[in-house]
Chain A
Amino acid sequence: MKSLEEYTLQLKNYHLQAYPDPYKPVEEYFTCQVSNMGSIMLPLLNGWYVHEGENLTTYPNGVLAGSLKAALDQHPNLVKPYLFSKNEDKDELVITNENNFTDGIFIYVPDNVKVEKPFQIVSLINSREDLLVQNRNVIHVGRNSELSVIQCDDSTRYGKTFINVVTDVTLDENARLQYYKTENKEAESVLLNHIRVNQDAGSFFHSNAITFNAGYVCNNILVNLNKPFAEAQLYGLYLVDKNQQCNNRIKISHNSPDCKSYQLYKGIMDDEAEAAFHGHVVVQPDAQRTNAYQTNRNILLTDKAKINTKPYLEIYADDVQCSHGATVGQLDDEALYYLRSRGIGERSARKLLMFAFANEICHHVEIQAFKDRLSDMVQRRLNGELTICDQCMLHNSDQSGLIFPIDPSKL
């Protein structure tokens, strides 16, 4: 199995995708058919924002959404402050992204606006060449405002990709953000999602990252709870098999008193798949009355599958409530016996129990249509029926290949 270092060493073999010019707007050949979701699509093709109409849309309520590059031209004062993080313990790949990113998504919500429809960032990759994609997303939610974002990372099955995404999230006082991610990548693809969150007083951040298929996926989340009564809830689910790898690295820094953080990550590893959970909570000396909880539960289906779990609390304040725990196990034999004694075959019984285990994470999604969709995808993933989000018209089914009316070589 390849390490991230080995992938990184081969980066020179990947192509940088130039801006597709001329291009067809993604809407002309792509629809997400998840019904009732009513989301507003923000499509990225091979790392570039390729939307019909303007590159950056200003909505009547003052919300701005679209290309980060366009936003940087038109509203530099809203974008620039977030492009270079002051964080000292930066990953090399984050620095690479900061210096070389091409485009990405910018969403700005002014104060006192509740955005009704979720924004859906769909990052499509369609290329015959091996691609290096470096996206940069900036999301800023103003005081007392609310926003939901769904981010779908999908691949078609052409070349290999190395995707290195950095997303900066800023939540002002009492702002609320629901941030959902689904990752469904083919083998040999690398997807690095770095998310940095800065939270002001009373703000609420909810993240739910679901990895269905992965070559090498890394979900890094860094949360700073900077002012009192900020709260972060991080959920994650990884379902990996064959030679897939999925790492979840979380660091939550309680920089202020009276903040809350909660982490629940679950995973099922089959075949020779490997996954990791590194959950790190730092409670700074002033952060009294902190509540911080972290849990990681895993099921290993084979002797060769691996999980590396490290729940880790670093506490410098004395008046805190913190807990952490990790479990690694197999399915409950008594429950299996019970199901089988009702006529359910062993295979189906195992699948029912695995689904129940995994689906707990989907329960925390608030958008009903998306929640149902995720549950269904989890079910089919465990049945071995899910290859890629088949609601995406772009990726039809495993056998029939792609229905793709434009010649990608011209992009």
Chain B
Amino acid sequence: MLKIENLHVSIKGREILSGVNLDIQAGEVHAIMGPNGTGKSTLASVIAGKEGYEVTEGSIIYKGKNLLDLSIEDRAREGIFIGFQYPVEIPGVSIANFMRTALNEIRQYRGLDPLNGAQFLKLMNEKKKVVELTEKLSNRSVNEGFSGGEKKRNEIFQMAMLEPTLAILDETDSGLDIDALRIVANGVNQLKTPDNATIVITHYQRLLDYIVPDVVHVLFDGKIVKSGPKELALELEERGYDWIKEEYEHSKLS
């Protein structure tokens, strides 16, 4: 589904990613872990198409298409979803209006008829249950005045509405208490199908107790330096990242 080869990315001339390779198949959950400042969020932003990132080398192929040629919105319409670490507040735009516009533009792109008001409301009420949202969303502005936990739940609610084929959850666990973490993780698990894939970017093993990955990657110094089964996350939790750094430095020398 997603194939990243030798990806090099710079911000204002400084190289952040220096040769990332990643291969993700439908039905899989991948975790990307690593210390701060190693390029995890940069990877998510480049996949989303955020401006200000320069791809100097390498490629990202998504469902057979060159992803880097697509606009931000077309990537979303092709089924890519980013769960943001810091979702922005948009006063005056109601969540309902936001989601209806998004959903209908995506449907139009795919040659489907737009949902009418009643169909949309029904869908929204159904999807609210995924993250146990009870309040009315038609009157609330996007993320305005939301707590950290509410913002993350709202991200997963949007994911439920848009049903992406590839979801990238960037530090979705940050700022969550244990109950919110459980709700968010349950939501993600409910949305899992054999046809979609999820990339979970996180610092901590904690989230991976709930969302169990098929593969764990360690991103360090702009590269994926180690990949392994889910047990790798436990090992990182226990031993920290120092041994990875040492292994990596050692391999560079030899």
Interface residues of A (CB under 8 A from B): 332, 334-335, 337-346, 348-349, 352-353, 355-357, 359-360
Contacts and interface: CB of A to CB of B under 8 A. Distances in A.
B102 A337 contact: no
A349 B101 CA distance: 9
29 contacts: A335-B88, A337-B50, A337-B51, A337-B72, A338-B87, A338-B90, A338-B142, A339-B93, A340-B71, A340-B72, A341-B73, A341-B76, A342-B76, A342-B98, A342-B99, A342-B158, A343-B77, A343-B102, A343-B162, A344-B101, A345-B73, A348-B105, A352-B97, A352-B101, A356-B91, A356-B93, A356-B141, A359-B92, A360-B91
B64 to A, nearest CB: 20
Interface in B65-92: 71-73, 75-77, 81-82, 84, 87-88, 90-92
Contacts of A360: 91-92
B109 interface: yes
B17 interface: no
A344 B71 CA distance: 11
A334 to B, nearest CB: 5
Question: What are the 10 A-B residue pairs with the smallest beta carbon separation, nearest first?
Answer: A356-B92, A343-B76, A342-B102, A340-B72, A343-B106, A356-B93, A340-B73, A343-B77, A334-B88, A343-B102
Interface string B228-252: 0000000000000000000000000
A167 to B, nearest CB: 31
B48 interface: yes
A359 B91 CA distance: 10
B84 to A, nearest CB: 7
Interface residues of B, number: 32
B92 A339 contact: no
A298 to B, nearest CB: 16
A341 B105 contact: no
A348 B101 contact: yes
B102 A338 contact: no
A208 B75 CA distance: 42
Contacts of A356: 90-93, 141
Given A338-B84, A346-B73, A352-B98, 11 more contacts: A334-B88, A339-B93, A341-B50, A341-B72, A342-B81, A343-B76, A343-B105, A344-B102, A348-B105, A349-B73, A356-B92
B72 A353 contact: no
Interface string B132-148: 00000000011000000
B98 A339 contact: yes
A341 B97 contact: no
B243 to A, nearest CB: 36
B43 to A, nearest CB: 15
A344 B102 CA distance: 5
B93 A353 contact: yes
Given A337-B51, A343-B105, A357 B92 contact: yes
Contacts of B48: 341
A340 B90 CA distance: 13
B143 to A, nearest CB: 9
Nearest to A359: B92
B109 A343 contact: yes
A345 B75 CA distance: 11
A249 to B, nearest CB: 27
B93 A352 contact: yes
Contacts of B109: 343
A306 B72 CA distance: 31
Most buried by B among A344, A346, A359: A344
